[in-house]
Amino acid sequence: MNKRGRDTGDGLFRRAEELIEVALQLPRGMSDQEVEGLLHLLPRDTSRSMRALLSSRFREVSLDFIAMIGGWIREARRAREEGRKVVLVPFNFPPEIIYLFRNAVPLTSEVLTTLGVSMLEGQGERYWDYAMGLGIPDFLCSSSTIELGSVLTGRDFEPDIIVQSAPGACDANSKIHEFVSLHMGIPQVILEKPTDSGPRGKELHRRYFLGFIRRLEEMIGEELKEERMREVLEEANRAAELYYELYDLRKFSPCPVPNIFSLFTYGARFTRWGRPEGTRMMQSLVDHSKRRLETGEYPAPEEVARCMWLYIGYYFDFLGFFNWMEERGITYLNDILSLCQPRFVDTSSRESMLEGLAESCFEYPMTRQMGASSMSLAWIEDMCGFIRDLRADCAIYSGHHACKQTWSIINQVRQEILKRTGVPVLCLQGDSWIRRMTPTSVLQEEIESFVENVVRRRRRRIGSSA
C-alpha cells in the first residue's frame, strides 16, 4: 500500500511480497521429488530462481535466506501500518544505522531489485521500461532503477524517506535517487563521501556523518538512545565475527562455501545487519560451510578454478550463474560486495559508536574503492590482497554496463592485477540485472572458454614448473 492509500498490487514490492509470503510457507526437509513438483507449479522465471535456491546442496540454508528476506519485507509492511518510517537506502549504506531507531526500518533499493528480478515472472523489466518511458536514459544502473522505476509508477509501496549515500562514489546511483525524491516528493537525506581518502577527507566525512544523523533524527522524529545503539551494534559485531569465519573458510580448496553464499552474505549485510535475523543467517552460512569442509563435499569432481569476481556478479539467472559454475568446479570466491569487510564498532560510548559507523560508511564496498581519491588504486590493492589471501587463480570483471567508473579504469586494474599477482583477468560485458543485454548462454561460453584455455593451462604450467 502506498502512502496515498492505494494498494494496487502491481508494483515490485507488492508482487515480490506475495511470492515471499508463499515461499515462507515452504516446509523444511522437502525431498527432491517434492521440490520438483513445486517447481512445476511456478511461473517459468520464478521456477528457475527457486530451482537454484532449492538445490539439494544448500536447500535448508536457502530457506533460512528466504525467511530472513521475508521477515525484512514483512517488517517494512508492518512498520507502515504502525506509522513507523520506512527508509529507502542504497546498497552502499549500512542498514544498521536505520535499526538504531525504534521508529524506522530500512529497505534497500538494490536488494529489492534483485528480489524482483529473481522472483517475478518477467523479472524487473516492466519497471525498467516504465523508467525509460519517463525519459530516464538506458545507460543508468538497473540495480536501483528497476526498484525505483516501480516507485515511480506511483502504484507501489512508497518509502517515507530516501537516503542517498553515493554522491562522490557513483553518479548514476545518486542521480536516480535524487530524481525519485524530486519526482515523488519524498524527502531525501544525503551523506556525501568526499573523494579524498586522506585524513582531511575522513574528517570532513565524519562531520557530514554527524550532520546526517542529526537530520535523520529530525526526520524520523526520534533521538538516538545509547542503549539501543549498543544493542544493535553488538549484534552487528557478532555478525561481523561470523563474516570473517566464513571468509576464512573460503581459503580451503576445494572451497567448502557454495557460490551462492556470496549473494546470501551481502543479502544479510544489506538488509539485516544489526538484527538477530542477520546474525542467524551468517551462522547458517558458516555452519553449512563447515559441514561441507568436514565431509569433503564438493559438487564437481575437482575444483578447476578459484575465481575472484572483481566487481559484482549477475543476478538474473542464479541457476545459470552461481549453480552452473559450481557444478563445473568453478568457485566464485567473492566479489566486491561480499568483500564488505564489516568493521567492529567500539560500543563503549555513543561517540565511539558514531565514530565506528562513520568509518563503516567510509569503508563500505564500492564507496571505499570507487569513492576514493583514486578510483583504481584502492580497488587494485584490495583485490590483489584478496587474490593472494584466498589463493585465487583467476579473476573476472562482470562489466555491468552502467558502471562508468569501473569501466573507465578496468584496463589499468586488469594490467596491475596481472602484473602484481600473475592472475589473468577476464572482462565480460552485460547488465547484471537485465537479461536482454547479454544472455546467460553467452556469459557461460565466455567463462568456460576462459577457464579451459587460460586458467587450466596456467594451472598445468604452474604444476609442471613446481
Partner 1 sequence: MDEVLSTARELIPSRLREWKESGGHVVGFTCVATPRELFDAAGILPYRVRALGKPERDRADAHLSRFNCGFCRACLQLALEGAYDFLDGLVETNGCDHLRGMFENWQEAVNPGFFHYLKVPHLVTEESLEFFAEELELLRESLSNHFQVEIGDAALSEAVKSANSRRERMRRLFSLRERENPALTGQEALAVLLLESSLPPAAFDDLLENLLQEAEGREIGGYRARLLLAGSATDEPDLVREVEDLGGLVVTDALCYGTRAFWKLPEVEGEPVHALAEAYLRHLLCPRMFDDYPSRLQFILQAAERARVDGAVLVYNKFCDLHGVENVRLRLDLEERGIPVLVLEKEYGSTADLGRIRTRIQAFLERIGGRGGFRKHASSAGLGNL
Helix (H) or strand (E) holding 285: helix 276-295
CA distance 94 to 99: 10
CA distance 139 to 431: 10
111 in helix, strand or coil? helix
CA distance 108 to 144: 9
**Residue 164 in contact with partner 1, rule: CB under 8 A:** yes
Of 361, 404, 406, the residue nearest 205 (C-alpha): 361
Residue 135: DSSP 8-state: T
The residues near 44 (Cβ < 8 Å, ≥ 6 apart) are 121
Contact 369, 345 (CB under 8 A): no
**Residue 201 in contact with partner 1, rule: CB under 8 A:** yes
**Residue 149 in contact with partner 1, rule: CB under 8 A:** no
| Contact with partner 1 (CB under 8 A) among 136, 213, 219, 263 | 136
CB of 416 to partner 1, least distance (A): 10
Q: Which whole-number Å values give the CA distances from 373 to 121, 179, 311, 376, 406, in the listed order?
A: 42, 26, 19, 9, 14
**Residue 408 in contact with partner 1, rule: CB under 8 A:** yes
| Contact with partner 1 (CB under 8 A) among 3, 47, 407, 459 | 407
**Residue 195 in contact with partner 1, rule: CB under 8 A:** yes
Contact 446, 428 (CB under 8 A): yes
Contact 440, 428 (CB under 8 A): no
**Residue 418 in contact with partner 1, rule: CB under 8 A:** no
CB of 195 to partner 1, least distance (A): 5
| Contact with partner 1 (CB under 8 A) among 15, 80, 343, 401 | 401
With contacts defined by CB under 8 A, how many residues of the chain interact with partner 1? 47
The residue (of 236 and 427) whose beta carbon lies closer to partner 1 is 427
The residue (of 116 and 194) whose beta carbon lies closer to partner 1 is 194
CB of 135 to partner 1, least distance (A): 4
**Residue 365 in contact with partner 1, rule: CB under 8 A:** no
CA distance 132 to 388: 42
Q: Which stretch binds partner 1 (CB under 8 A): 50-58, 284-292, 333-341, 400-408?
A: 400-408
Compute CA 36 distance to the chain's CA centroid, rounded to the nearest angstrom: 28
Q: Which amino acid is at 84?
A: R
**Residue 187 in contact with partner 1, rule: CB under 8 A:** no
**Residue 208 in contact with partner 1, rule: CB under 8 A:** yes
Here's the x/- map for partner 1, 439-458, by CB under 8 A: it reads as --------------------
**Residue 404 in contact with partner 1, rule: CB under 8 A:** yes
Binding residues for partner 1, rule: CB under 8 A, are 134-137, 139-140, 164, 167-168, 170-172, 174-176, 178-179, 182-183, 188, 190, 192, 194-196, 200-201, 204, 207-208, 211, 370, 373-376, 401-405, 407-412
